[in-house]
Amino acid sequence: MATAQGAALDRKKLMADPIMVTTIVVLITFLTLFILYPLAILLIDSLYGDGNGLSLSVFKRVLAMPTFTRAIGNTLKIGFVVGILSTLIGLLFAYVEVYVRMNRFAGGLFKLVSMLPVVSPPFVLSLSMIMLFGRSGLITRFLLGIYDNNVYGYWGIVIVQTLTFFPVCYMMLKGLLKNIDPSLEEAARDMGASRWKVFTDVTFPLMLPGLGNAFLVTFIESIADFANPMIIGGSYDTLATTIYLQITGAMDKVGAAAMAVVLLCITLAMFAVQKYYLESKTAATLTGKASRARMLIEDKSVTVPLTILCSLGALFVIVMYICVPIGALFPTWGYKFTPLTFKWFGQVFSKYKGLKAFRDSFVLSLIASPITALLSMIISYLVVKRKFKAKGFIEAVSMLAMAVPGTVLGVGYIRGFSGGLFRTGFLQGLYGTGAILIIVFVVRSLPTGTRSGISALRQIDKSIEESAYDMGADSFKVFMTVTLPLIKDSFLSGLVTAFVRSITAISAIILLVTPSYLLITVQINEFAEKGAFSIACAFATILILITYGSVLLMNLVMKFFGTSRKIKED
Amino acid sequence: MAKEKKGVRLEHISKIYQDPKTHKDFYAVHDTSLEIEPGSFVTLLGPSGCGKTTTLRMIAGFESPDEGEIYLGGEPINALTPNKRDTAMVFQSYALLPHYNIFDNVAYGLKLRKMDKDTIRTKVLDILKLVGLEGMEARMTNQLSGGQQQRVALARALVLEPGVLLFDEPLSNLDAKLRVSMRTEIRRIQQEAGITAIYVTHDQSEAMALSDKIIIMEKGVVSQMGSPQEIYYHPKNEFVADFIGDANFLKGKMLRHEGGDGIVAINGTEVRVATADNVADGAETTVVLRPESTVLGDQGYFPVKVIVSSFMGAYQLYHVMLGDTKLIIHEYNPKGKKIYAMGETAYINFEPGNAHCI
């Protein structure tokens, strides 16, 4: 059939809009250059890397390394266990929050637990784990008198990652549970099912795809995690750390590229399952909006034990986080606890160039975050509101970035830009500069921003923008006067999320940072590896203060300048 | 008020969509040609999925036709983006800009046209007066009722003095009473402004009340075009007859034509039908009878069995069975007339002028 004319007209209309066309071209260039190209070069490297033309010899070589094959097994095992544990704990918390009447105190704890991982650098829990349960740990050694407790290794990683990632599951599952129409459960109850039966026969089956989703998201996070295995893994290596060591230790960049391809394949496969299979299923089973508020469980024999259990868990997590700032105040961790001192904070600045580290991290993140926020809003706008040929490409690539572990991206940038594009020297100047660090920050935060942007934009009735278009505004004008003001909140929070993610990022950055830039996270990692926990804690504390401060600032700004409350009341 | 009333012409317009489930292409609109006179009020009427909204959105420029050309005031506009077309649309969801107040909503298009502040102010206040929203210009959109929001949407479109005003089911979100009063209002304003209007709806009474001309669409093609009277009294096919008002269909055979009337045999009885020139002698035909022009009596064409008899106030509603065919009858002003009860037998009667063949 003659769809050609319609397509041609659509194209013509698009071309009549130069700003739009430029935006699309710039976007495609950016995505290709900084997401697709570094991944492609890894593949090229690992297939041609040994100089004998196209062959699998590099893969054969790395797969023959026992360290590497062991790392694959370790990574998958940890990912699996952490995925299961996080999902279950997350489910417990979500269920209690949505179904059980809680007192204000427990509610506050829950909120804190969901927020702490967001504002903290990724490896904070590893630090506190070592400080509380390690050989000279506060709890193991001084409370329990155990002198040879070893937290390093498998269990250390599992515990730390579970505590870090379960709040994400909790938030995801909470959203799902809230979307289950209470009348479904009431109907089952009415037909004579016990509360437990309702859970197993109605609630649980409805949530199953959502649980699978939470599991896979955690799984991907876990196998992509670099910082925790680095600090608490000891000799237990995962893929991310093995790749890092292959580059920094063995100086085998081609081998690292092949390893990165293997890691990428695992995450991509998981991501594909999660995105295309489970997400659609979740949406299919839970389309209904809750029609009424749910009758909360008030039975004390249920509420009291559940609330206590979860509150204790939450308290434990909070103690773990608090341990870091307190650890920075002890004169010598593990030996001398009083008097509390600020000397480590002093040393951060006097001895270890703290000011430069904070300035570098702060400035680079500050530059990256508006770029990220704007870019992700533009991508979301194009994806949700416009139709054009390259749209599928833009959407796919920006989502792809979500499945790329930081370490993989880092190796890709090293291989892709250290000798210029395809080692031609073109764009070589980028390598080793602050610009490439900013680009990495942007790429790393782009998927999160885009995802929240897309869901914000889907809330806006398409005809609102169409009406502006109809009244004579071009696309740029529509975006600036209608779309952006309506998603101001989402934009602001995207801005802060990008900032927080950038300033706490480590996995890709650690491979790319040069001595001319000092980044806080890299510093913390270095001191933690050296065993200088007090200094690491002091750095981490200041970092947490910065990120927490920026979140508070955002909330304030939103309160006063956010989308008019008058609109929201609707 | 409009700078220039413009006509709209669609020449062999088609729009092809892909079915999201089967991935098969299908025609949402197929080979549709229309001519809309400048200054007239035309309604596109049809059930959901008939292509009426797609047609409207092609005129506005949100969709591009896959075949054919659209003309606005004689100019081809296929390649123009919506913001360059001399059309203004009133959306089903009103689509008011929620972060602007009423004044800014109405002024939005004028500001884009770079008019000076005083002109904008005068124009906006004038138009708000016309739609009955004087003094409300500082309110936010969510402080308005549905009907008021609808007026803002209308004002916002009118103030641009477009060549054509487009309405996409603008009243479907309002309650029944308000819908009736708003449609009178829309008709008044359109006539005062003397503007060409194209109106999409699935509500036949709305179409009847508003339009100079109704275009009935079914499955992407135009079934019938004409004045409300033409469409009501002379529907071309069962679909149109059934869609506009209630209709009874009696299957029969055309025996002969007599003095302009047709004589049709139904169930062995000869009945006289005024409009029958379209059917040849000896052909199978269907006689269309409106419920209000059919009466029950103790004598008549054929006996029927009453299965429902309810007092509706203005009329007595009957459902009667003629063999296997159910007929609906509205006996208006029933006071003082003989009322048949359920289970009774009565006879059907109608004037030849009230029936026609399709």
Residue in chain B closest to A461 (alpha carbons) equals B95
Confidence of residue A570 (pLDDT cuts 50, 70, 90): very low
Question: What is the distance between the alpha carbons of residues A105 and A103, in angstroms, rounded to a whole number?
Answer: 6
Is the pLDDT score of A290 beyond 70? Answer: no
The phi-psi region of residue A351 (left if phi > 0; otherwise alpha if psi is between -120 and 50; otherwise beta) is alpha
Q: Give the model's pLDDT for residue B271.
A: 87
Handedness of CA B276, B277, B278, B281 (dihedral sign): positive
- Whether A412 is in a domain gets the answer yes
For tokens 């001895």, what's the residue?
A: A351
Question: What is the distance between the alpha carbons of residues A35 and A432, in angstroms, rounded to a whole number?
Answer: 18
Question: What is the distance between the alpha carbons of residues A278 and A220, in angstroms, rounded to a whole number?
Answer: 14
B8-238 CATH choice from 3.20.20.70, 3.40.50.80, 3.40.718.10, 3.40.50.300: 3.40.50.300
Q: Between chains, do A5 and B61 touch, taking CB under 8 Å as contact?
A: no
Question: What is the distance between the alpha carbons of residues A113 and B259, in angstroms, rounded to a whole number?
Answer: 91
- Whether A169 is in a domain gets the answer no
- Whether A227 is in a domain gets the answer no
The phi-psi region of residue A109 (left if phi > 0; otherwise alpha if psi is between -120 and 50; otherwise beta) is alpha
Instruction: Inform me whether the C-beta atom of residue B92 falls under 8 Å from chain A C-beta atoms.
Output: yes
Q: Do domains B8-238 and B247-357 have the same CATH topology?
A: no
Instruction: Inform me whether the C-beta atom of residue B129 falls under 8 Å from chain A C-beta atoms.
Output: no
In chain A, what residues touch B159 (CB-CB under 8 Å)? none
Nearest Cβ partner of B66 from A3, A463, A481? A3
In chain B, what residues touch A10 (CB-CB under 8 Å)? 64
User: Using alpha carbons only, how large is chain A's radius of gyration in Å?
Assistant: 25
- Whether A368 is in a domain gets the answer yes
CB-based contact A230:A529 (threshold 8 Å): yes
Handedness of CA A419, A420, A426, A430 (dihedral sign): negative
Closest CA to B309 of B292, B290, B329, B289: B329
Q: Between chains, do A470 and B15 touch, taking CB under 8 Å as contact?
A: no
Q: Give the model's pLDDT for residue A285.
A: 58
Tokens of A133: 């349960």
Instruction: Inform me whether the C-beta atom of residue A470 falls under 8 Å from chain B C-beta atoms.
Output: yes
Query: How many domains is chain A built from?
Result: 1
Average pLDDT, rounded, for chain A: 84
* Domain residue limits, chain B: 8-238, 247-357
Q: Give the model's pLDDT for residue A353.
A: 81
Continuous segment of H or E residues that includes residue A454: helix A434-458
Q: Between chains, do B140 and A566 touch, taking CB under 8 Å as contact?
A: yes
Closest CA to A504 of A522, A528, A527: A522
Contacting A residues, span 3-22, partner chain B, CB-CB under 8 Å:
3-7, 9-10, 12-13, 16-17
Question: What is the distance between the alpha carbons of residues A468 and A464, in angstroms, rounded to a whole number?
Answer: 7
- Whether A80 is in a domain gets the answer no
For tokens 């196209």, what's the residue?
A: A54
Q: At what angle do helices A300-327 and A124-133 cross, to 10 degrees?
A: 90
Most B-contacting residue of A389, A461, A471 (CB-CB within 10 A), to test interface: A471
Q: Is A145 buried (19+), middle (13-18) or exposed (0-12) by CB count in 10 A? A: exposed
Q: Give the model's pLDDT for residue A566.
A: 43
- Domain span at A404: 11-55+336-570
Is the pLDDT score of A146 beyond 50? Answer: yes
Q: Kindly report the number of other CB atoms within 10 A of residue B94's CB atom.
A: 24
Nearest Cβ partner of A471 from B63, B64, B160? B160
Contacting B residues, span 153-182, partner chain A, CB-CB under 8 Å:
153, 156-157, 160
For tokens 């940072």, what's the residue?
A: A513
Q: How do B41-45 and B213-218 pair as beta strands?
A: parallel
What type of residue sits at position A278? L
Most A-contacting residue of B16, B66, B150 (CB-CB within 10 A), to test interface: B66
Instruction: Inform me whether the C-beta atom of residue A485 falls under 8 Å from chain B C-beta atoms.
Output: yes
Instruction: Inform me whether the C-beta atom of residue B117 falls under 8 Å from chain A C-beta atoms.
Output: no
Q: Between chains, do B97 and A464 touch, taking CB under 8 Å as contact?
A: yes
- Nearest chain A CA: its distance from B234 CA (Å): 35
DSSP structure string for A505-562: --TTHHHH--TT---HHHHHHHHHHHT-HHHHHHHHHHHHHHHHHHHHHHHHHHHHHS
Instruction: Inform me whether the C-beta atom of residue B190 falls under 8 Å from chain A C-beta atoms.
Output: no
Terminus-to-terminus CA distance in chain B, angstroms?
A: 43
Instruction: Inform me whether the C-beta atom of residue A459 falls under 8 Å from chain B C-beta atoms.
Output: no
Confidence of residue A294 (pLDDT cuts 50, 70, 90): confident
- Nearest chain A CA: its distance from B323 CA (Å): 45
Q: How do B261-266 and B269-273 pair as beta strands?
A: antiparallel
Confidence of residue A518 (pLDDT cuts 50, 70, 90): confident
Tell me the helix, strand and coil percentages in chain A, rounded to 5: 75, 0, 20
Tokens of B100: 């602007």
Q: What is the rounded average pLDDT of the residues A511-528?
A: 87
- Nearest chain B CA: its distance from A521 CA (Å): 41
Q: Between chains, do A464 and B98 touch, taking CB under 8 Å as contact?
A: yes
- B90 - beta bridge partners? B167
- How many CB pairs (< 8 A) connect A and B? 114
Count of residues for chain A? 570
pLDDT in tens, chain B (358 residues): 446 788 999 999 999 988 878 888 889 999 999 999 999 999 999 998 899 999 999 999 888 899 999 999 889 998 888 888 899 999 988 888 888 899 999 999 999 888 999 999 999 999 999 888 988 889 988 888 888 998 999 999 989 989 999 999 988 888 888 888 888 888 988 888 889 999 999 998 899 989 999 999 999 999 999 999 989 888 888 899 888 888 889 888 888 888 778 888 888 888 888 877 778 888 888 888 889 888 888 888 888 999 999 999 889 999 999 888 899 999 988 888 888 999 999 999 888 888 888 8
Residue in chain A closest to B153 (alpha carbons) equals A467
Could you please state the CATH topology (level 3) that the domain comprising B247-357 is classified under.
Answer: OB fold (Dihydrolipoamide Acetyltransferase, E2P) (2.40.50)
Q: Between chains, do A5 and B67 touch, taking CB under 8 Å as contact?
A: yes
Question: What is the distance between the alpha carbons of residues B127 and B125, in angstroms, rounded to a whole number?
Answer: 6
Residue in chain B closest to A483 (alpha carbons) equals B97
- Nearest chain A CA: its distance from B54 CA (Å): 13
CATH number for A355:
1.10.3720.10
SS3 track for A170-188: HHHHHHHHHHCCHHHHHHH
Q: What is the rounded average pLDDT of the residues A1-13?
A: 74
